[in-house]
Structure 1
Amino acid sequence: MITASSGAGVLRGNRRFDLEAGIEATGMGRADVWWRQAAGGRRELMPLLGARVCALGAVAYEPLGYQQLAALTYHDEGIPGGPQGTNTLVPGSVVAVRTRSGKLVKVQVQSYGQDLHLRWQGCPPPTRFKTLKVVVGSAPEWLVSRYVVDCVYESPDSSMHPCGTGAFGAGGGVVEDRISDEWGGFPAAARVTVSVDFQPGTGLHGAVTRLEPEVGPSGVSLLYEPEQEIKKIKLVFDLTPRAKSQDYLLLRWLYRSGSSAGSGSQRTLTGADLRENVAQHELAFPPDGSSTAAVDLTVDGVYQGAELVQFKQRVSLPASALAFRFRKQGAGPRYRLEAF
């Protein structure tokens, strides 16, 4: 509900009432109407502080809702309540009020006198919704064991509301939900938290990313790519001369953070992978704020039908790509790799 006002009570003579809170107001600062007792016995229900009123007379109270109240014309003049002259506040009569902050409330007089016995009910507009969709991309299975996505938003009344959650494997997934204006309007942004759990063998602690995508006309659409968390290095091999069908390259790497060794893995590039003049492979590493992060890279294999001279090098991170070419090793059939 946009307003918590709903109930019944007494509005005493010359007292003011807060229809948003449903209580008699102690001063002018939080009041919407005043049951004014004027000189000569004249009484009137006066709107206050920018509130507006519309007298409907003896109409059916229960069916009145937001659509009916929103279509009325409101004014800032008091509604006459006798006993001298016109009395528009007889028992059973209904008054529509647009409160000082623009909320719509229907009020019915249940008994009339120096005090008014009233019942009232806030009539909020129909709830609207916008969609939220968060797509999480995939990551290497050797590195990531799980993603957890949690989405919330803060409404204008400062309360927090969940709007989607999901847990996925390394292949990623989609979270879909809705954002509501039920609590006073749509928020400017949602809050999306993505937690990444790494495979136990990596020895790495989990990483958490917090994002605040804007809530646009159609809602929220967010693509979370693992590249936001995971470092990558592309290895490019110049295969000159062209590799033979039985040739292969064995890539092994070990990730280091400072002086500590972390995750390691390996990949074999077979003859089928080496058919073109250039072969490529991408290494992925977890997020790390260390200024001394590095990877120990080793390459073995067979090239041109002979055992390759082992290549071994520590590469400081970040590094976007490494290019390699083959050089003949001495007068024999062996080749060695050199980075350039």
Structure 2
Amino acid sequence: MSTGFSETRVPLGSSPSGSGVLHGTWLFDFESGSEVNQLSMADVWWEQLTNTKRQLVPVSGATLCSLGLVNYDALTLSNLEKLSYSSTSIQGNMNGINQLVDNSVFAVRTRMGRFAKVQVLHYDYNLQIRWQFPEREIKYLDVKITLGSTPTWLVTRYTIESSQMTPSGIRSCGQGIFGSEGGIVQGQVSDEGGAFPSTISVTVSIDFVPDTHLTGLVKNFAPSVTDTGVNFFFEPKQVIQNTSLFFDLPLKPVATDYFLVRWKHTAGETVVASGQKYLSADELQKQPVTQYTIVFVPDPIGANDLDIGIVGRYQNLELTPYIQKYELSETAILIRVQKATTGSGYVLVSV
């Protein structure tokens, strides 16, 4: 069966357009851009009531809106969405009322709920028409993610990923990789889903310097999308707790000396994080007061206390084991080595 159409068929949902001839008494499906022979597959019926009385009838749940002689090319999807549609037929009589004269325009809300604009290029028993599903104009807002700097001894790399959910899947809103100096990620968020999302997803991945004994950290955020876009600031120190240990050594360590520092962060009876550090004689000899920083990422549980245990040798003598609990709020701890009150060994004393 010839349809009288020669345009390329476009898959459903890809905003097709075309032109051709709608034959008298035929059904037409704007979704596929073709005449059909099943009522359930059609949007309109070009009904011939008599030799002179004709009407375009919406079918299968489709609705119409007659617009008359308007600028076809200027009609946007937003314009079509705001129209009032009905199941009333559009009159196209040879004598009397004819709303389908040459260059007249009508809008269709198809049985699938999509919006098309249609223009009558030539009126007759067979209608010569053109149609189009206007694409939605996508709007964008700026996304700016600022990453603060942190000490070079702590962080080696930051990875930032930001995204939004759209009808077609996940869409990137900006990404970047930075060193400890931080940086700025700039991107955009769109309204391709019909409206801007209320939030976007931001994932910050942190790689720490190996000497910190910290495993990689991943933090997820959902900053709000405002009328001006997204402006999000991440400060690495907000998720990092560090405590510096200072060892006051009155005598220069000898080759066999060492300190083994063990630490753990606790919340009540729960150990949140732990680690250890071996300080060799060479490290202890570098300066009169040796410094070692314990770094802790309090996530997801907030710790209250820091337990420190130290064993080792000093002046080639075994140290008395040192065990002490500190409040996490203490950011600097001074520990002094002094002679034991009994025997010939040494002890560690918190100052």
Same fold, TM-score > 0.5, yes or no: yes
Distance 2:136 2:275 in 1: 59
CA displacement, residues 297-326 of structure 1 (integer Å, 9 cap, x when unaligned): 77xxxxxxxxxxx99756779934378689
Q: Which amino acid aligns with 2:194?
A: G
Unaligned runs of 5+ in 2: 1-12, 247-258, 266-270, 311-318
Once the two structures are TM-superposed, the CA of residue 7 in structure 1 deviates from its matched residue by 1.6
Corresponding residue of 1:142: 153
Once the two structures are TM-superposed, the CA of residue 179 in structure 1 deviates from its matched residue by 0.9
Q: Sort the Cα spacing of 1:34 and 1:71 in 2 relative to 1 into closer, same or farther, 3 A.
A: closer
Matches within 5 A, 1:160-171: 160-171=170-181
Distance 1:317 1:16 in 2: 80
Shifted more, 48-57 versus 166-175: the winner is 48-57
CA displacement, residues 135-190 of structure 1 (integer Å, 9 cap, x when unaligned): 222333222100010111112x2422111011111122221211111342212321
1:131/1:220 contact within 8 Å kept:
yes
Distance 1:264 1:137 in 2: 31
Q: Sort the Cα spacing of 1:214 and 1:288 in 2 relative to 1 into closer, same or farther, 3 A.
A: closer
> Are 1:154 and 2:178 an aligned pair?
no
1:35/1:43 contact within 8 Å kept:
no
Corresponding residue of 2:91: 80
Scaled by the length of structure 2, what TM-score is found? 0.62
Corresponding residue of 1:53: 65
Q: Which amino acid aligns with 2:68?
A: L
Corresponding residue of 1:245: none
Q: 1:225 aligns with which of 230, 235, 242?
A: 235
Corresponding residue of 1:302: none
CA displacement, residues 83-130 of structure 1 (integer Å, 9 cap, x when unaligned): 454333244433244667886532122455555443222334543222
Q: Sort the Cα spacing of 1:73 and 1:188 in 2 relative to 1 into closer, same or farther, 3 A.
A: closer
Corresponding residue of 1:5: 15
1:51/1:102 contact within 8 Å kept:
no
> Are 1:127 and 2:177 an aligned pair?
no
Distance 1:205 1:193 in 2: 16
Q: Which amino acid aligns with 2:209?
A: Q
Once the two structures are TM-superposed, the CA of residue 66 in structure 1 deviates from its matched residue by 2.3
Q: 2:187 aligns with which of 158, 177, 188?
A: 177
Number of residues of Structure 1 aligned to a counterpart in Structure 2: 301
CA displacement, residues 205-257 of structure 1 (integer Å, 9 cap, x when unaligned): 43322322232332222222324643x145699xxxxxxxxxxxxx9966679
Identity %: 29
Distance 2:277 2:235 in 1: 21
1:55/1:79 contact within 8 Å kept:
no
Cα RMSD (Å):
5.3
Q: Sort the Cα spacing of 1:203 and 1:313 in 2 relative to 1 into closer, same or farther, 3 A.
A: same
